[in-house]
């Protein structure tokens, strides 16, 4: 038996749509795998009612299938599905790492990320790696076919409004093309995010998180987005963006501003008539093995 902790992640960071991601220090899923002749999946925890246990429909089942192994999978979800915090990626990445350990598959980090991305395909229709990569590698990641992982240690606040947005629906809102001007702006902004991570400059990261392509298209799906975003910026956040496909919002800020930013998020959503909760986080590690044993 192998038990792993698979962290929540925040994809995109605004300008890095489908490319950038960060691992968060919380919340996390606990995934337990035991050897079995046939794959079975049981799910409990946050939003478990909404997660299919049929291996053909579950992200974990797809990961095991792509690795050519079977196992009994028990998941305790700490990352709520359809929140924008990489819930399906946590399951997929947790299962990939656990299966690699359980069956001694010898996969490289990129191999694990590829396997976990197959699970993402079940959920969003595309095997994008921007959640599974940071979930496995930790820190800040840049992924296309391959992943480059950077150590990162900055502070953030996540607001989770009481709204459900499916990744498929959020992807359905996206424009099919961008102008040359938008392309240049996005390259500049994304470069600032990377430079900010390398320099540990939270102002530069926040500035680079601007995005008027994907974010603009998706904002109408999140009631209260404008008010909550402005409130968090006024309270000291250097940048605010939709976390992944939403509805969670991610703010980056200095450590001492976290309580104010969290409060501002909740008040902002409240002013717009939306209940929410906010929590303080920081960039964290990737999947960790927490237990090995016979059962």
Q: What residues are annotated to the active site?
A: 120, 167
Q: 11 or 202: whose CB is closer to ligand HSE?
A: 11
- 3-state secondary structure string across 139-156: CEEEECCCEEEECCCCEE
Q: 3 or 130: whose CB is closer to ligand HSE?
A: 130
Residue 131 engages ligand HSE in binding (rule: CB under 6 A): yes
Pick the binder of ligand HSE from 10, 12, 186, 238 (CB under 6 A): 12
Q: 142 or 170: whose CB is closer to ligand HSE?
A: 170
Residue 15 engages ligand HSE in binding (rule: CB under 6 A): no
In 10 A of CB 240, how many CB atoms? 29
Token code pair at residue 279: 């929590």
In 10 A of CB 210, how many CB atoms? 19
Residue span binding ligand HSE (CB under 6 A) among the ranges 128-136, 153-161, 175-183, 226-234: 128-136
Measuring CA to CA, which residue among 5, 4, 97, 8 is closest to residue 47?
8
Pick the binder of ligand HSE from 80, 128, 129, 155 (CB under 6 A): 128
Residue 118 engages ligand HSE in binding (rule: CB under 6 A): no
Query: Under a CB-based contact definition with an 8 Å cutoff, are residues 39 and 98 in contact?
Result: no
H or E, element range at 262: helix 258-271
* d(C-alpha 136, C-alpha 111), whole Å: 11
Binding mask 149-178 for ligand HSE (x = CB under 6 A): ------------------x--xx-------
Residue 215 engages ligand HSE in binding (rule: CB under 6 A): no
Residue 39 engages ligand HSE in binding (rule: CB under 6 A): no
* d(C-alpha 256, C-alpha 178), whole Å: 38
CB of residue 136 to ligand HSE, shortest distance in Å: 15
Q: 14 or 61: whose CB is closer to ligand HSE?
A: 14
Strand, coil or helix: 5: strand
């Amino acid at each position: 038996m192998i038990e792993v902790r698979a962290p929540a992640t925040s994809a995109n960071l605004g300008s890095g749509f489908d490319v950038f991601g960060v691992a968060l220090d919380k919340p996390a899923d606990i995934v337990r795998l035991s050897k079995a002749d046939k794959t079975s999946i049981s799910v409990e925890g946050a939003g478990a009612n909404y997660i299919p246990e049929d291996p053909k429909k579950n992200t974990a089942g797809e990961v095991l299938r792509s690795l050519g192994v079977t196992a009994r999978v028990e998941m305790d979800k700490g990352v709520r599905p359809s929140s924008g915090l990489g819930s399906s990626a946590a399951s997929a990445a947790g299962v990939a790492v656990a299966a690699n350990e359980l069956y001694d598959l010898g996969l490289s980090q990129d191999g694990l990320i590829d396997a976990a991305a197959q699970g993402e395909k079940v959920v969003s229709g595309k095997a994008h790696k921007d959640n599974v990569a940071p979930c496995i590698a930790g820190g800040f990641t840049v992924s296309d076919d391959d992943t480059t992982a950077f150590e990162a240690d900055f502070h953030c606040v996540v607001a989770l409004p009481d709204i459900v947005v499916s990744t498929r629906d959020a992807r359905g809102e996206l424009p099919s093309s961008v102008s040359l001007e938008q392309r240049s702006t996005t390259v500049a902004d994304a470069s600032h995010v990377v430079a900010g991570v390398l320099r540990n400059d939270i102002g530069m990261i926040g500035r680079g998180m601007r995005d008027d392509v994907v974010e603009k298209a998706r904002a109408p799906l999140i009631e209260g987005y404008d008010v909550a975003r402005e409130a968090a910026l006024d309270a000291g956040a250097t940048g605010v963006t939709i976390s992944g496909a939403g509805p969670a919002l991610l703010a980056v800020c200095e450590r001492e501003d976290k309580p104010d930013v969290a409060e501002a998020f909740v008040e902002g959503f409240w002013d717009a008539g939306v209940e929410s909760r906010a929590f303080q986080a920081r960039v964290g590690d990737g999947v960790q093995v927490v237990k090995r044993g016979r059962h």
